[in-house]
Each structure stands twice: as C-alpha cells, then as structure tokens.
Chain A
Amino acid sequence: MPSVSFEHVRKAFGDATVVEDFDLTVADGELLVLVGGSGSGKSTILRMVAGLEEVTSGSIKIDDRDVTALPPRERDVAMVFQDYGLYPHMSVRENLSLGLRLRKIARQEIDRRVTWAAGMLGLAPLLDRKPKQLSGGQRQRVAMGRAMVREPKVFLFDEPLSNLDASLRAQMRIEIGGLQRRLNTTTIYVTHDQVEAMTLGDRIVVLADGRIQQIGRPIELYRAPINRFVAGFIGTPPMNFVDGGLREEDGEVFFRAEGMSIRVPHENAATSKAAESLTLGIRPEDLRLNASTTRAEGGPAGDAFTGRVVLVERLGGTSHVHFDVVGGSRMMASVLNDRLPDVGETISVGVPPDRVHLFAADGRSISNSASLPS
C-alpha cells in the first residue's frame, strides 16, 4: 500500500520554481531520504507534505487520501525540526504530551504513550526538565519523542542532526535508523549530508535545482549514478572527474586526457564513439597506487597513468593521497595505510576499467560498467 504519493507536484514562489514535477510514491514503512544541496527544494517538499507550504500544482496523498488542500493538523503527520522546535516554557513531559492533549486523548492513554516514548528514548529521568536544561542530543530525543507519541501516519525529519556535533550525529543517526525500523512508520527524511542519506535510507532521492536527479537504493546511487551531479554528490570523498575524449585504437577504446590514456570497456564506447568531449569519473577508493607497473606515459598502453604526489592526509585507517596527473588535473586516491608515497614522489596510478564512469557533455552517464547487485 502506498503511504505517501506525490503526483506531479510543483512549487513556485512568485516566478521562481523551486520544485518541478516531483512524482514519487513512498511505500508503507519505508524510510525515504531526500538529499541535495541548499536550494535543491528538499525542505520545501517536506514542508508541502506537512502542509506548511502550499502546493502550486499537483497533489499529495497520504494513505490514498488527498491532503493537498488540508491544513497541517488534519494530515496526521509529525515533524522533527532542525532546531527541534521544542516549546521552551514547557517541561519535557508537557512537550511530549501537548499534541495529545490538544487532540483530547484520554489522560491514561497520554501517560501510557509518554512513558513508552520516554522509555524508548531514555528520557524518563528528564521528564520534568525544561528544554534549556537539556543537551543538544537530549533535545533531539525529545523532538523525536514528541513525534512518536502522536503515532502518526508519517514522520517528517527536516535535517534533524545538523545542529549536533559529529560524534553525536553519528550516534543519533544510528538511533533514528533503529527506531524507524522498530516503529515501521513511513518516514521522509531530509538531509544535505550524503552519509546520513546512505546509511539511513531505504531509498534515496537526489535533488538538484528542484528536480529529481535519481531515485534508488543507496548502493545503486553509489555504483551507478545516472549523471555527473549524482556521481559527485554521493560518496565521500567525492568522485574524481577528468575531462577528455574517447579514441579507438587497435580495436580497443581509450579515454584520453592530458597525461592519461585509460582503456575503457567496449560496451561504453559503442554508445559513444562520436563523443569527442566527455568526462571520466573514478572514485578515490577505486584508484590503485603503484598497483600496476604499466606506464601510461609511453602511449596507449592501458590502465594506468603517472602522477606527482602533492599532499597526503592521514586519517588513521585510510589516507587521502592528492596528486597531480602529469600535465593534467588534480586527483585524489583513498588508500589503506600499508605503504604511503611521499610528497613530491612520482607514482603510478592504476585504474580498473570496470570502475570507470563516463559522462557525456550534458552530464548524463553513458556507462553502465559498474554492475549492480540484482
């Protein structure tokens, strides 16, 4: 059963269109993540579901009921805000119970739900405190508890972790994911952080300029980005991009750019032989330093090229090696710490052909080399 469905939803503020033809169905119990940069329209979409923004055209249904024109309180959704939106003059208990009191739920039922949520979120000892007496993480939990006690049809999360520090964010991310799976409530989660998107989402919608770029399971977006924007947005550290062109030699197809010539699998070339100008994308973790002794300098030899190391960032488990392709662009490889090159050293960089992504001049992906799990 579809839980939330968007039908050609469009939103404009005056002349500026911020969401264009958003058409999507969220399954019952699914955790859907909307991810994108600022101005991508992700928060606007969430606010339209909540009823805080009007829909310019199109419709939104919750459980097959058209809610497009309904005020927020009749939609049966609960929202967790970036700054939590806790009522400062009320205790945690009052914050949790207000929505139920407004709806005239029986007192015993209110107590039962507040106790249940407080227990689940570890808020029991804090029930009589005011929000200002709580830490950021505790406030975040109260905001989630306030959503939970309502037992709504849909949870809406608007960048709920942005105000927390890094370690707390990682912890709360895990808690939110666990909680959502236990409650099995349909959830739409907005974030600009692609790590949150990757770790939390059953499916991810990548947005840019108010348009859907790609919808898919996290691993799909990672392995088979549909365009250059998605490729650059999903994955940390971000994908390397090199501008160049394709050339066929001796029955093999090579991607050529300043300082590099990379063999690419045949099936790509078939669709894009004419492509003079395109972009190669390769993830930092797919590059192999010193992995191949094949030298690229000499000609169309194959699957490696030469670079000069300019910076090594040691992160502990892995390290980021930044290097300049000889005569060409700057790239970065993410490698294990077994053997790290020194700054200034010339290295050979191996490129596994099956890890290469190719993008046409308009950003569209023209490769399907990265195979998907079925």
Chain B
Amino acid sequence: MRAEQKSGSLMAAPYGVFLLVFAVYPIAFALVLVFLQWDLVTAPAFAGADNVRLLVHDGRFWRAVANTFVFLSIHVPLQIVTALGLALALNRQLAGRSFWRAAFFLPVVISGAVVAILWSNLYATDVGLINRVLVKLGASPVPWLTDPRTAMPAIAVMVTWKNVGFYVIIYLAGLQYIPRSCQEAIEIEGASAWQRFRYLTMPSLLPQHILVVTLSTINGFQLFIEPYVMTGGGPLRRTYSVVLYLYNNAFAYQKMGYAATIGVALALIIGAVIFVQRRVIGRAEAL
C-alpha cells in the first residue's frame, strides 16, 4: 500500500508542479497584488485597500461588467439554440455527416484573432459581405461594428459562430446517450415530433444544458480578443469587456495592482453568476 501511494504521488507530481507554477502561484500573486501599487518598473508599494476602493467607484469597470452581461444575454441563449439545433440536424442520417461535423468544428480550432479579422471584413459597413447581401435584398447597409447598438450583438453572434462546434459535440454526445428504446417507446405512445422533443429530448439533455450554460458563461466573461482586435472597446465603450479593461490597466497603464484587483473581482462575479445559474437550473430539474 505504501509503495503504491508513493508511485501514485510520483505520477501525479508533474501535474502537481504544473498546478503550482501556473495556477496556485499566479492566484496567490494576484491576491497579493490587490494590495500593492506596481508599475512593473519601480519596486511595488503597499497600497492598502486603495485598489478595492477605486474599483468600487470606477464607472468604467462597471460599464465593462454591464457590457459583458449584454454580451452574455445574447451569446448564451443563442449558443444553446444554435448548438442544439445543429446537433439535432447532425444526429440524423444525412449524407456527408462527418464532413458537416468537421466543418462546424473547424472555427473552434482557428485562432481567435484570425476569426476576428475575418469577421471584421464580413461586418465592414461598405464592402462587407453581409451588407452587400443586405443591399442586394433591398435593405440599407448596417454599420455593424461602429453603431453602439449593434456592435456588441455583432460580436456576440460572431463568438457564438466560432464556438458552436464545441457545444454541438457536447449535445451530440447527449443525444446519442438517449436510449433508443425510450425514443421508440414515446413514438409508440403517440408523441408527435414536437412532443418527443419536449418530453424526452430536452429533459434528457439537462446535464448538457448545464454544461453548455456554465462553459459559455465562463467563456463569455473572458471576452477579450474580439473587442481587442475588432473595436478596441468602442464605439462609446459599448464593447469594452472586463478582460479588455484588465489588460489595458496592466499593459497600457502599467497598473498591475489595479489589474489584479479587476481579475479577482471578475473571478468573484463569475463564481456568483455560476452559483445562481446552478440554483436556477437545479430548481428547474426538481420540477
């Protein structure tokens, strides 16, 4: 037993070291930084609760939090609907199924910056493909990324497109887990296609719904590359995300202490939101 424990610890050691260096140490460092003022050049100085006080009254930070919630309110529902819809379609016997599955997964593995540049072109007001189609259809072009009302929704649609393949895989796994006899039983019992979806498919996918909501929420809070590349946070700071604000504080304004404070605050907000989500979904499950 002793020898077994020893070899077990030994085998776990590489990951343990990884965890220490890349998770425990940065988290501890960030927590310490919250109470420091540091510009990366001069020696850090103790700042007490200054950073926290500043954050609580920082309108730009709360604007970024609000922006992120706007993003989530579009991204998460849209992600569920598109991923579930595609999964249902791809779960059928259709020609070239593996091609379609690969095609929808491809954007997931493409670099976020590349996707952002691609979509900047698609969204471009004068020459973008989307507006060209709109004009062809007789509509007037929309300044997707330069209108404060459309910029964040446009980014949310794009992020949804990029990640949909990942969530499709989660839903496909869930769909294939529904026993065939259950599907046949409900068909014999008289369910229409909609009733089968409503009474069997949707409730059977509850674990997948929880996973997709949780992951897309966490992922959404970390929105960064897209506004960084496409809008720089504009127009009128409407696409300024929390992580973009954190990044600028750290590397544009050299306020490492304040950036760390934003990071810790973001972690707490994510934790709180996920907690509430789980409670709500848990209650839905009990019904």
A interface list, Cβ under 8 A from B:
50-52, 71-73, 75, 77-79, 81-90, 98-99, 102-103, 146, 150
Contacts and interface: CB of A to CB of B under 8 A. Distances in A.
Contacts of B199: 87, 98, 102
Contact of A99 (B179, B189, B192, B206): B189
Contacts of A89: 203-204, 206
Contacts of B184: 50, 52, 72, 79, 81, 85
B187 A72 contact: yes
B59 interface: no
Main secondary structure on B side of the interface with A: helix
Contacts of B189: 73, 78, 98-99, 102, 146, 150
5 contacts: A72-B184, A73-B191, A86-B182, A98-B199, A102-B186
A130 to B, nearest CB: 11
Contacts of A75: 188
A81 B183 CA distance: 11
Interface in B52-81: none
| Best-buried of B188, B200, B203 by chain A (most CB within 10 Å) | B188
Interface string B186-202: 11111110010001100
Contacts of A77: 188
B181 A84 contact: yes
A78 B187 CA distance: 10
Given A85-B179, A87-B182, A98-B199, A51 B188 contact: yes
B47 interface: no
Contacts, number: 64
B190 A99 contact: yes
A238 to B, nearest CB: 31
A85 B191 contact: no
Interface residues of B, number: 18
Given A98-B199, A102-B195, A85 B190 contact: no
B185 interface: yes
A88 B186 CA distance: 12
Nearest to A89: B203
Nearest to A75: B188
B185 A81 contact: yes
Interface centre among B179, B185, B195, B199 (most CB of A within 10 A): B185
Contacts of B179: 83, 85
Contacts of A81: 181, 184-185
A87 B181 contact: no
Contacts of A73: 187-192
A80 B200 CA distance: 17
B186 A87 contact: yes
Contacts of A52: 184, 187-188
Nearest to A51: B188
Contact of A102 (B191, B203, B204): B191
B187 A85 contact: no
A102 B190 contact: yes
B219 to A, nearest CB: 27
Given A87-B200, A89-B203, A98 B186 contact: yes
B88 to A, nearest CB: 18
A217 B1 CA distance: 63
B13 to A, nearest CB: 38
Contacts of B182: 85-88
Contact of B188 (A50, A86, A90): A50
Contact of A78 (B186, B188, B200): B188
